[in-house]
Structure 1
Amino acid sequence: MADKNVREPVILGAARTPQGKLMGVLAPLSAAELGQVAFGAAVERSGIDPAEVDEVLVGNVVSAGVGQALPRQISINAGIPDHVGGVAINKVCGSGLKSVMLASSAIKAEDGDLYVAGGVESMSNAPHMSRVRAGAKFGGVTMEDALETDGLRDTFNEWMMGNAAEFIAKQLEVTREEMDEFSYRSHKLAAEATEAGKFKAEIAPVTIKTRKGEIVVDSDEPIRSDTTVEALAGLRPAFEKDGQVTAGNAPGLNDGSAAVVVASREYAEKKGHQPIARVVGYGQAA
């Protein structure tokens, strides 16, 4: 039973960018630029005074090359005054949601009343790196992919996330057919929702400047409306010779950002804001 004396966190506004594929339509934009769109739209839609924000919380995993203080880059460029602090959170795939959890916890602890929380990733801009600070005395120089080393490879087992998926599939006895069917259903439902305009309310369009003019991106790029179970079944395993994880049933490599405005219910009522949701609870794993 909830403690009536504990303050309740509520959501006042939310927004996300469209999702882009690796080296796709959103690749020209940095993580800071993508975050600026989502966080700025969430603040605007909520109707809050940006000067009253207590802190900006940003989940981000591949931070190599994003520049100093990514949350500050995002918040200031999104119209939040520079007296508002920001912090980055890295909990791998749970980073963005963890930022919302921390905002909710801060409200319950009476540390503040108003937070902007979310996440951003630009996988397309993850750099290749070489450890040459001490010099390269002889021979070639090896490059590392920050997307792999910082995001997709388990440092304990030297596994890619696809190998981890193979391990879990074996443990839970998930078949290739079940994985392909789930992937097909996901694409089908997403395509139908897009066609029906159900994502329009949550998407903040992204404007990209090119030499030929401006391009406005307002729909998700990775959705495959033409995929079939048969096409998915014909793909080769991507990580293990006799494995089940393929390019068709694995999560994509994407660019995008999402954000929510989290406030105490007392703040919302005092300022006359109508919450769109409330945070009832949350849980996490390592």
Structure 2
Amino acid sequence: MRRLQVVLGHLKGQQNSGWAPQAAPCLSTYPQASAADVVVVHGRRTAIGKAGRGGFKDTTPDELLSAVMTAVLRDMKLRPEQLGDICVGNVLQPGAGAVMARIAQFLSDIPETVPLSTVNRQCSSGLQAVASIAGGIRNGSYDIGMACGITSENVAERFGISREKQDAFALASQQKAARAQSKGCFQAEIVPVTTTVHDDKGTERSITVTQDEGIRPSTTMEGLAKLKPAFKKDGSTTAGLTVNDVDIFEINEAFASQAVYCVEKLGLPPEKVNPLGGAVALGHPLGCTGARQVITLLNELKRRGKKAYGVVSMCIGTGMGAAAVFEYPGN
């Protein structure tokens, strides 16, 4: 009974934890760059496939992760032994993903002397991996680290988010992602992966997966309206900068209802939100999403070329959220 009372107190906002988040100066307020600054120098990912029937349905998670690790080392001309640490965000892998991640490390010819850890903070696991590596660099434990995220597997009534509004947001996400894909905006971040698939008759063939499989360019409002709601008819489950200072907001679209509420509540200009589409179109592999958002954000800021700020954010299971601000120095 006490367990129920405690949980209910948190849900009602009556539980006094003795601590609350406090506003703090954002690093953007510091006037000059510092030798202690942590810099993201590169990022790659695989395409996001369809579960159970896509190009990666017969590919193991360690093979996918290894393809990305290898590509990053090759692109940056880094020797594997130069890495000081590896952190992999994951959610659904058995054994906290440690065995899978370590095998991926070995498949990438990264020696066992390079330490590796895994982290699970639900939907923000990939972003948490980035934060963990940044913390290690900042405190002087090492100079170079690799942050990864992997998953191989995806509020409305209270706040008045209608089904129609959710469908409109989902349609916009699909349209933005389709335009970005047709323009080749994801090519710089996706590592082509050659793998094998087996059809229903057991025949094996080799394919190379080069693009996200969840994007549906032909999506329409009429088609979305025909989809069965994920929840009951009457509802759904669910730093010193101003909005004007931020060029891009990468908000995870765990659900259309949650994303719509965030955009409206914060007063974000729609054109700044997920300009290349979001998880509704691309997919939401839990352990990967945070890292994927960082890569997509930084690549888009690089394409635009000017000095700018970007925000990555996501909701997290059990009533939490996470966000990070990134500064792009300009070309």
Q: TM-score, normalised by structure 2?
A: 0.60
Residue matched to 2:37 = 8
Unaligned 5+ residue runs, structure 2?
A: 1-28, 198-202, 238-254, 258-279, 293-306, 314-319, 323-331
Call closer, same or farther: CA 1:50–1:209 in 2, change over 3 Å.
same
Q: Does 1:174 align with 2:169?
A: no
Call closer, same or farther: CA 1:63–1:183 in 2, change over 3 Å.
same
Maintained 8 Å contact 1:121/1:257: yes
Q: Does 1:285 align with 2:317?
A: no
Residue matched to 1:228 = 220
Distance across 1 between alignment mates of 2:309 and 2:78: 18
Report the CA distance between 1:173 and its aligned residue: 2.4
Q: TM-score, normalised by structure 1?
A: 0.69
Maintained 8 Å contact 1:21/1:254: no
Maintained 8 Å contact 1:60/1:88: yes
Report the CA distance between 1:84 and its aligned residue: 0.5
In structure 1, the residue corresponding to 2:158 is in which secondary structure? helix
Counterpart amino acid of residue 91 in structure 1: R
Report the CA distance between 1:42 and its aligned residue: 1.8
Show the 5 A alignment for 1:16-27. 16-25=45-54, 26-27=56-57
Q: Does 1:80 align with 2:124?
A: no
Residue matched to 2:206 = 214
From 78, 84, 89, give the equivalent of 1:48. Answer: 78
Distance across 1 between alignment mates of 2:181 and 2:232: 34
Unaligned 5+ residue runs, structure 1?
A: 124-151, 153-167, 261-276
Maintained 8 Å contact 1:119/1:257: yes
From 37, 49, 56, give the equivalent of 2:67. Answer: 37
Report the CA distance between 1:177 and its aligned residue: 1.6
Call closer, same or farther: CA 1:60–1:280 in 2, change over 3 Å.
same
Residue matched to 2:250 = none
Maintained 8 Å contact 1:180/1:232: yes
From 186, 189, 211, give the equivalent of 1:199. Answer: 186
Maintained 8 Å contact 1:38/1:257: no
Distance across 2 between alignment mates of 1:24 and 1:254: 15
From 214, 232, 236, give the equivalent of 1:240. Answer: 232
Maintained 8 Å contact 1:22/1:255: no
Distance across 2 between alignment mates of 1:120 and 1:77: 16
Counterpart amino acid of residue 227 in structure 2: L
Residue matched to 1:59 = 89
Distance across 2 between alignment mates of 1:73 and 1:280: 33
In structure 2, the residue corresponding to 1:285 is in which secondary structure? strand
Call closer, same or farther: CA 1:249–1:78 in 2, change over 3 Å.
same
* Relative contact order, higher structure (CA 8 A, sep 6+): 1
Q: Provide the alpha-carbon RMSD of the alignment.
A: 3.3
Show the 5 A alignment for 1:125-204. 168-204=155-191
Call closer, same or farther: CA 1:87–1:67 in 2, change over 3 Å.
closer
Maintained 8 Å contact 1:20/1:256: no
In the comparison of the two structures, how many residue pairs are matched? 227
Call closer, same or farther: CA 1:196–1:73 in 2, change over 3 Å.
same
Residue matched to 2:149 = 119
Distance across 1 between alignment mates of 2:228 and 2:196: 37
Maintained 8 Å contact 1:8/1:278: no
Show the 5 A alignment for 1:245-256. 251=280, 252=283, 254=285
Maintained 8 Å contact 2:123/2:287: no
Counterpart amino acid of residue 116 in structure 2: G
Distance across 2 between alignment mates of 1:241 and 1:76: 49
Counterpart amino acid of residue 43 in structure 2: A
Distance across 2 between alignment mates of 1:57 and 1:78: 15
Maintained 8 Å contact 1:16/1:257: no
In structure 2, the residue corresponding to 1:235 is in which secondary structure? coil
